[in-house]
């Protein structure tokens, strides 16, 4: 409906500047409300991070976690990032929001190190808009230093489609981050139409197979498995690690293991956990049954 209203307003609006559909008005109004309350939420500490474990498929060991932001709204309860990240990206709020996420993830890495958990990586999702910021690398270096966290324990995930919006610029920004020493991965891989020549030039460590390619894992002829296998082979040929996200079933897990995928994350093993839940899991050395 939003798109329709937008289209309507554009086509009619060309000859009629006064035109403003009621529907469009509503959409803009809701957007502004969301923007104002999100801005307040960042300042009031209403954001929280969940940590979804990432598991090594050869040892079953938890080797890292992806930080996923949630908004704990005082009235509406927990709001998922798919609702507010797009608004944050459009309004520029992604910069303070992203800074908060990076700071919080580094604080967690510091807290884990303090209890002896040091061979562990936290991955943070990064928007292209953060990547394009001037002095982003310097500011990130400051954040790591402030928490006493070595760069190699932080991973940054950028989606393939965002990288492909401005591939040359993205490559240069990633190269600077690589010099700093953080790990880099391409998120939602397979959905962003990157040409192979670009893929080879992005200085990343890992690709994450988008969960839309995993399929149910029960029908070998549905085409998903061919794509998953091809992505794993491509990644390994480029000397990259490959992780599958959104793994929900034992069939998917078995398939990934049989085809030499390096890591997995998904509800089959664990959803995102609060920081103390993650710490408890690591302390127990909980493993994926082999």
Q: Could you say which residues in the range 84-113 bind ligand C2E, by CB under 6 A?
A: 85, 101
Residue 267 near which of ligand C2E, Mg ion, none (CB within 5-8 Å, type-dependent)? ligand C2E
Residue 246 near which of ligand C2E, Mg ion, none (CB within 5-8 Å, type-dependent)? ligand C2E
Q: Which is nearer to ligand C2E, 5 or 182 (CB)?
A: 182
Q: Does 262 bind Mg ion (CB under 5 A)?
A: no
Stretch that binds Mg ion, among 30-38, 78-86, 146-154, 182-190 (CB under 5 A): 182-190
Stretch that binds ligand C2E, among 26-34, 55-63, 74-82, 108-116 (CB under 6 A): 74-82
Annotate each residue in 49-68 with x if it binds ligand C2E (CB under 6 A) or - if it does not, as one string. Answer: ---x---------------x
Q: Could you say which residues in the range 212-251 bind ligand C2E, by CB under 6 A?
A: 245-248
Q: How far is the CB of 252 from Mg ion (least distance, A)?
A: 15
Q: What is the DSSP string of the chain?
A: -HHHHHHHHHHHHTT-TT---HHHHHHHHHHHHHHHHHHHHHHHT-EEEEEEEEEETTT-BEEEEEEEEEEEETTTEEE-HHHHHHHHHHHSTHHHHHHHHHHHHHHHHHHHHHTT--S-EEEEE--HHHHTSTTHHHHHHHHHHHHT--GGGEEEEEEHHHHHHSHHHHHHHHHHHHHHT-EEEEEEETSS---HHHHHHS--SEEEE-GGGT--SS-TTSSHHHHHHHHHHHHHHTT-EEEE----SHHHHHHHHHTT--EE-STTT---B-HHHHHHHHHHT-B---
Task: Give the interface with Mg ion as residue ranges (CB under 5 A).
Answer: 125, 157, 187-188, 245
Task: Give the interface with ligand C2E as residue ranges (CB under 6 A).
Answer: 52, 68-69, 80-82, 85, 101, 125, 127, 157, 187-188, 245-248, 266-267, 272
């Amino acid at each position: 409906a939003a798109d329709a209203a937008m289209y309507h307003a554009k086509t009619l609006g060309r000859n009629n500047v006064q035109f403003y559909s009621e529907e469009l008005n509503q959409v803009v109004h809701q957007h502004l409300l969301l923007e104002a309350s999100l801005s307040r939420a960042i300042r009031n500490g209403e954001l929280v991070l969940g940590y979804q474990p990432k598991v090594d498929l050869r040892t079953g060991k938890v080797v890292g976690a992806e930080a996923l932001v949630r908004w704990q709204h005082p009235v509406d309860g927990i709001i998922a990032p798919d609702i507010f990240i797009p608004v944050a990206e459009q309004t520029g709020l992604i910069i303070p929001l992203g800074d908060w996420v990076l700071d919080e993830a580094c604080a967690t890495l510091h807290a884990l190190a303090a209890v002896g958990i040091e061979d562990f990586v936290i991955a943070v999702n990064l928007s292209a808009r953060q990547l394009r910021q001037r002095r982003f690398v310097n500011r990130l270096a400051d954040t790591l230093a402030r928490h006493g966290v070595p760069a190699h324990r932080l991973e940054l995930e950028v989606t393939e489609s965002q990288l492909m919006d401005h591939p040359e610029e993205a490559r240069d920004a990633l190269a600077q981050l690589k010099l700093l020493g953080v790990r880099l991965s391409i998120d939602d891989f397979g959905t962003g139409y990157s040409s192979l020549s670009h893929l080879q030039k992005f200085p990343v460590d890992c690709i994450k197979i988008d969960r839309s390619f995993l399929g149910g894992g029960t029908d070998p002829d549905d085409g998903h498995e061919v794509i998953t296998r091809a992505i794993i082979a491509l990644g390994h040929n480029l000397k990259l690690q490959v992780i599958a996200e959104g793994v929900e079933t034992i069939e998917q897990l078995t398939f990934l293991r049989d085809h030499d995928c390096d890591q997995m994350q998904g509800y089959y093993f664990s959803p995102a956990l609060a920081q103390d839940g993650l710490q408890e899991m690591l302390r127990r050395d909980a493993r994926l049954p082999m």
